[in-house]
């Protein structure tokens, strides 16, 4: 038999044998994460994983749990965000960055589409491969007919000598001799 979950109910956590007696606490902490992510200076919709787990969030006026309990709640939130694909966990400069694609400012999409030259999105995968794509062309294609683009589906190709050569030919409209 499973435990009922909801405000005022109990919830079994996926690790450590913990049971959360007040699941609404997760909602309050999730709201603190969302407020922190929305305040990113470049409006990128992200937060460093270590910042989140350390509790460096925007709590406004709610009373925080004792540090030991808070650590369990924050770890549970992190696992929930990742398992439900609400955020992407990406390595960045020796740390992990949590990116919430739906919280990025849509003005960036407009800005990238209006550039005179291609805007390239470059990503290094977890196995070290580097891939790239023309994000401005993607956004123009996906927003045709007035559709609003809320997220970018990365369709990048491998970044290597041959892909750079193909890109050069496309841009310059000529084939190398």
On whether both 161 and 124 belong to a single domain, the answer is yes
Contact predicate 32/57, CB 8 Å: yes
Is residue 59 included in any domain, yes or no? Answer: yes
Q: Does 8 or 72 have the greater pLDDT score? A: 72
Q: Which of 99, 119, 142 is the endpoint of a domain? A: 99
Would the pTM count as exceeding 0.85?
no
Q: How many domains does the chain have?
A: 2
On whether both 68 and 41 belong to a single domain, the answer is yes
Q: Which of 82, 99, 116 is the endpoint of a domain? A: 99
Q: Does 101 or 67 have the greater pLDDT score? A: 67
On whether both 39 and 111 belong to a single domain, the answer is no
On whether both 133 and 57 belong to a single domain, the answer is no
On whether both 117 and 136 belong to a single domain, the answer is yes
Is residue 133 included in any domain, yes or no? Answer: yes
Q: 48 has which bridge partners?
A: 97
Q: What is the 3-state secondary structure (H, E, C) of 14-32?
A: CCCCCEECCCHHHHHHHHH
Q: 162 pLDDT band (50/70/90 cuts)?
A: very high
pLDDT of 109 strictly over 80: no
Domain containing 53 equals 11-99
Is residue 3 included in any domain, yes or no? Answer: no
Encoded tokens for 54: 């350390």
List, for residues 29-88, the tens digit of each pLDDT value.
888 998 888 887 766 778 889 999 999 998 888 889 999 889 988 998 888 888 877 778
């Amino acid at each position: 038999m499973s435990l009922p979950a909801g405000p005022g109910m109990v919830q079994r956590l996926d690790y450590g044998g913990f049971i959360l007696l007040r699941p609404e606490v997760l909602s309050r902490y999730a709201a603190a994460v969302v407020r922190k992510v929305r305040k990113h200076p470049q409006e990128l919709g992200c937060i460093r994983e270590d910042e989140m787990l350390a509790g460096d969030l925007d709590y406004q006026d709610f009373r925080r749990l004792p540090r030991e309990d808070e650590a369990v709640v924050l770890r549970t939130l992190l696992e929930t965000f990742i398992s439900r694909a609400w955020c992407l966990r990406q390595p960045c400069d020796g740390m992990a960055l949590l990116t919430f694609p739906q919280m990025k400012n849509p003005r960036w999409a407009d800005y990238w589409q209006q550039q005179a030259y291609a805007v390239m999105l470059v990503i290094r995968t977890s196995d070290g491969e580097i891939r790239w794509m023309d994000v401005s062309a993607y956004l123009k294609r996906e927003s045709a007919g007035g559709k609003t683009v809320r997220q970018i589906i990365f369709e990048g190709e491998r970044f290597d000598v041959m892909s750079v050569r193909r890109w050069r030919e496309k841009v310059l409209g000529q084939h190398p001799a």
